[in-house]
Amino acid sequence: MATVAFFILFAITTPPTSESAVKNDEEIEKKEEGEKQAKKEAEEQAKKEAEELAKIEAEEQAKIEAEEQAKKEAEEQAKKDAEEQAKIEAEEQAKKDAEEQAKKEAEEQAKKDAEEAAKNAETMSQTQAVQMANDYLNYTAFSKSGLIAQLEYEGFSNADATYAADKLNVDWQAQAVQTAQNYLDYTSFSRTGLIEQLEFEGFSNADATYAVDNLQVDWQAQAVKMAQNYLDYTSFSRSGLIQQLEFEGFSNADATYAVDEVGL
């Protein structure tokens, strides 16, 4: 009885060898499949993480590039805006400078015009000086300086007298010719003596010389006339009268001729 029980218990507690092996194989296979699945899942997870990391890095790189592009575009736009602003300011400054220059030139022109108008506007005293100067020239000849001196003698200021002499359209060479003729009409002169007399009257040497050279004068006859004038109011020796005529500007030949003609 006990023996039978032992065998029964042994049969119950001791599994068959083939079932145990199958079970072990299943467990190994299950373990291997689990490991494969775990490895697969790990690889997929690693791939997923790698893709996510690559995506993040790509996004970050794109963000960096976008920021750099935006910065570059902003800098270019700022540069463009600055250039346009500088151009606008330069144009405005140029316009302002041109307006100021035009204003300055207009003011200067207005001042000049006003001064010219004031200069051209005769005062009452200037008008009177012009009228008197013209009256003098209508009956006798004057040099410019002689006319100014005459007007000053009449009481006009030098400024008004000068204004009058400048205002009249006077041919001073013609005045010199007339003055020379007036002198020769009442007294005698040598050529140099008449030039000196005209210069004394205020004519330039050029105008005096022009006047004397433009008159038809017989200088020998002038020497004879002067010699006779001297003898009419005083006495001379022959040589003394020749010397006096030479002193008056006649040549020795003309002086000698004159003395011979008056019978000295």
For the stretch 120-137, pLDDT in tens is 677 899 999 999 999 999
* pTM over 0.75, yes/no: no
pLDDT of residue 113: 79
For the stretch 164-191, pLDDT in tens is 999 999 999 999 999 999 999 999 999 9
For the stretch 201-242, pLDDT in tens is 999 999 999 999 999 999 999 999 999 999 999 999 999 999
1-19 mean pLDDT: 52
- CATH hierarchy code of domain 171-217: 1.10.10
Q: Secondary structure of the chain in the HEC alphabet?
A: CHHHHHHHHHHHHCCCHHHHHHHHHHHHHHHHHHHHHHHHHHHHHHHHHHHHHHHHHHHHHHHHHHHHHHHHHHHHHHHHHHHHHHHHHHHHHHHHHHHHHHHHHHHHHHHHHHHHHHHHCCCHHHHHHHHHHHHHHHHCCCCHHHHHHHHHHCCCCHHHHHHHHHHCCCCHHHHHHHHHHHHHHHCCCCHHHHHHHHHHCCCCHHHHHHHHHCCCCCHHHHHHHHHHHHHHHCCCCHHHHHHHHHHCCCCHHHHHHHHHHCCC
64 has a pLDDT exceeding 70: yes
pLDDT of residue 164: 95
pLDDT of residue 6: 46
